[in-house]
């Protein structure tokens, strides 16, 4: 009983101090996480910060996503971000731009693996967020692309979000005019999908 009271008191102290964070969630993605075409507060990482606060979890969210980012670009930028933010969790949401450009799946997988390794070496847990390619890229490429995320997650025993647009990818009303970027109404759906795998890492 006393131990439970002490843990509760410690949690309250952490939450009462604006700087006393137990951890940082670093969102490392592309335009799908950067909030392309949206107001900053509408993006799913912004909604994630609100949900974490509402759940009284002592974590802050740093969204370092960049529109147009590839896995190669993300890998090049990651060491400095790990040093600066010292995250406890890194959410890797990259690969869509590799796929849209038809870049080799093997190179993408190598870059993702290197980011997983760097994040873990820095002491962070990793959540891998997968993506799928439209069918016009051909069955062989789309199959290998999707499998790359599953293989990395399995080999590294990572929590995986297989597809961040699960449940609405086939509904045009949830996308902007370009047909690629989700609208504001889709952001809570993305968050719900990611939250299922992320929440256990915040305990």
HEC readout, 117-150? HHHHHCCCEEEEECCCCCHHHCHHHHHHHHHHHH
Residue at 163 is within a domain: yes
**Which CATH number covers residue 168?**
3.40.50.1110
Domain total of the chain: 1
The owner of tokens 């070496």 is 121
| pTM of structure | 0.89
Tell me how far apart the alpha carbons of residues 130 and 147 are, in angstroms, rounded to a whole number.
9
Task: Decide if 181 is catalytic.
Answer: yes
Annotated catalytic residue within 143, 151, 181, 192:
181
Note down the domain range covering 158: 24-202
- Would you say residue 183 has pLDDT above 90? yes
Catalytic residue among 31, 53, 67, 143: 31
* Catalytic site includes residue 119: no
Question: Which 8-state DSSP code applies to residue 42?
Answer: G
Inside any domain, residue 99? yes
The predicted pLDDT at position 127 comes to 98
For residue 19, is it within any domain?
Answer: no
Does residue 18 sit within a domain? no
pLDDT tens digits for range 145-167: 999 999 999 999 999 999 999 99
Residue 107 has pLDDT above 60, yes or no: yes
Instruction: Tell me if residue 59 is catalytic.
Output: no
Within 10 Å of residue 172's Cβ, how many Cβ atoms? 8
Residues 197 and 126 sit within 8 Å (Cβ to Cβ): no
Let me know if residue 17 belongs to a domain.
Answer: no
On whether residue 146 sits in a domain, the answer given is yes
């Amino acid at each position: 009983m006393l131990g439970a009271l002490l843990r509760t008191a410690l949690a309250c102290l952490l939450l009462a101090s604006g700087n006393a964070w137990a951890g940082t969630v670093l969102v490392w993605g592309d335009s799908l996480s950067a909030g392309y075409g949206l107001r900053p507060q509408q993006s799913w990482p912004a909604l994630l910060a609100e949900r974490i606060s509402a759940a009284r979890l002592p974590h802050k969210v740093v969204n370092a996503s960049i529109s147009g980012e590839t896995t190669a670009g993300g890998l090049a930028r990651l060491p400095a971000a790990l040093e600066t933010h010292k995250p406890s969790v890194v959410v890797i949401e990259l690969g869509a731009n590799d796929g849209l450009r038809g870049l080799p799946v093997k190179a993408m997988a190598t870059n993702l693996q290197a980011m997983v390794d760097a994040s873990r070496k820095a002491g962070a847990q990793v959540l891998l967020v997968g993506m799928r390619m439209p069918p016009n890229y051909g069955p062989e490429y789309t199959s290998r692309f999707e499998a790359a995320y599953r293989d990395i997650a399995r080999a590294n025993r990572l929590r995986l979000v297989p597809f961040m647009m699960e449940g609405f990818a086939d509904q045009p009303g949830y996308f902007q005019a370009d047909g690629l970027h989700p609208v504001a109404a889709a952001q809570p759906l993305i968050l719900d999908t990611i939250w299922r795998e992320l929440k256990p890492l915040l305990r």
